Every structure is written in structure tokens, then in C-alpha cells.
Amino acid sequence: MKKIFCEANAKINLTFKILGKSNSGFHYINSIIQSINLTDYLIFEKSKKFQFTGNCISPLKENLILKAKKEMEKNLNRKFSFNVHLQKTIPISAGLGGGSSDAAGTIFAINKLFNLNLSKKKLAEIGFKVGCDVPFFIYGGKCKVEGFGEKITPLSLKNKSNFYLILRPHKRLETKKIYFLYDKTGKNFFEIASNLCPDIKLVYQDLLKFQPVEIGMSGSGPSLFAGFKNYKETLEAAEKFNNFNGDIYITKPTKNAII
């Protein structure tokens, strides 16, 4: 195989709890995470040297795609040369896991491009060294995520929602900062994110008026989601936010994070 087209889907945290903090500084979590069809697109092609094109939204040395490549090389003790082109759709610093999904897509693509035949468990172990969210994206669908993010249990529970309305205020919230403020104040992520971005609380209150079957803030925010049974209800809710200062997406739950 010389070329792979990869769809890297976003996620929402249907539930999220911090259970404690280890001596190493990592936080123990318990979360139910769901893949959604808000997608970054990546094209991987074997080449004589590594090249990155497309949406380079951070210095390349900090990009999770490059980190994933280096971690695969370190783990397997070999070099992988390929071109990767990224077309981003998932907003960054939004609590939707776009960077981690791109990293998981890179690990998945290297495994396929170079016929490594590594198990999903092994790919997730490598992914965890890239970022705590990456193991989930190797599995995708709906999963319970525990530990520091490395313990993944796929769930076969029927989805409460057939569609999710996602509203992302135009405010970037860095996960590291939210965790820092959590450690400092003891407030939950919703309170912390709302203090940094007041639109979060206002939008949440407006979403409640539509009586969604699920509602919440994804990860460290600021993206909010509301789940509905059908498209008509979802669209009607979306149309009420025509003056919203941010991005609006109508999405569906998916069975995979990487396609």
C-alpha cells in the first residue's frame, strides 16, 4: 500500500469526572466519550523523506502528527518516510480532540502503509505516549475511558441521541490551563471554562429550552453539545442560534474515530 486517505473524527465527552491526581501530576479520570462525524481529512503517501502540507496550525515540532510519527519510530526502532496532507475541519482548543484524532490517524496510517500488522491494543499503547486522548481515538465509537486516558472499554450501549448540535464559542481554551485552574481552585471544568468564556453558561441555558435528551460541555470546553432524537429537532434548535458568535455543527455519532 502506497497511499491512504484517512478521516479523523472528533469526539464529545458525554460524561467527565476527575477522580484524583497522581504523584506524577497526571489526573485520574472517568469519562464516556463518543465519536462524531465532524472530521479532519488526512492523506498519507510513502515518500523518500517526510513532508507535511496543509493546515499546519502549530509549530511542526509541537504538532501531534509529527509526535505520533516519532513515537512509532521510537517504539519500533525504524524510520518511516511519507508525505502527509492535512485538511482541518475540527476547531482547535475546543474540547473536541482534533489534534489527538489526527495523531491517532497518523498511527493508524503508518500501521497500514508499512504493513506492520500491530494490534489495536499496541497502537493505543503507543498513542498514549503521544497524548492522553489518543488511545480513545484508536478505538473510537462509544467508550468508557479511565485511568489517565489509557484504559479503554468499548461500549455497546444504544445511543440516546441520533444527532448532536455542537456550538463552539470563538474562544480557545487550552486543556493544560483548565487542569491548572482545576488544581488551583477545585472548581469543575464547566465553572472554570464559563469564567473564561461567559458565553458557555448563556448558551447552555438556551440549549436547555429545547429539552435535549443529552447536554453538556465536551472536555475542557468551550464546545457545548445537545443531543436530539431526530434531525428536525436538531435543525430547529440550530436555527435559533443564528446570531451566535461561534461555530455551529450538526453531527451524528459514529462507530469509529478513524476511517
Cα gap 27→69, rounded to integer Å: 25
How far apart (Å, rounded) are the C-alpha atoms in residues 98 and 38? Answer: 9
37-62 residue pLDDT tens: 999 999 999 999 999 999 766 677 77
Whether 133 is a known active-site residue: answer yes
Mean pLDDT in residue range 64-91:
96
Closest alpha carbon to 210 in 239, 253, 189: 239
Q: What is the four-CA torsion angle of 28, 31, 35, 41, rounded to 10 degrees?
A: -20
The pLDDT score that the predictor gives to residue 57 is 64
What are the tens digits of pLDDT across the range 107-153?
Answer: 999 999 999 999 999 999 999 999 999 999 999 999 999 999 999 99
Grid coordinates of 32: 464516556
Q: Pick the catalytic residue: 11, 67, 69, 142?
A: 11
pLDDT for position 100: 97
What digits encode the pLDDT tens for the residues 155-211? Answer: 988 899 999 999 999 999 999 999 999 999 999 999 999 999 999 999 999 999 999
**Per-residue pLDDT at 2:** 86
Q: What is the pLDDT of residue 1?
A: 72
pLDDT tens column, 3-29: 999 999 999 999 999 999 999 889 999
Residues 63-90 have a mean pLDDT of 96
Catalytic residue flag (residue 48): no
Q: Considering the candidates 40, 102, 133, 199, report the single residue annotated as catalytic.
A: 133
Enter the pTM of the model. 0.95
At 253, the pLDDT band (50, 70, 90 cuts) reads very high
What is the per-residue pLDDT for 157? 81
Spatial strand order of the sheet with 214-217 comes to 214-217, 224-228, 163-169, 246-251
Task: Label residue 74 by pLDDT band (50, 70, 90).
Answer: very high
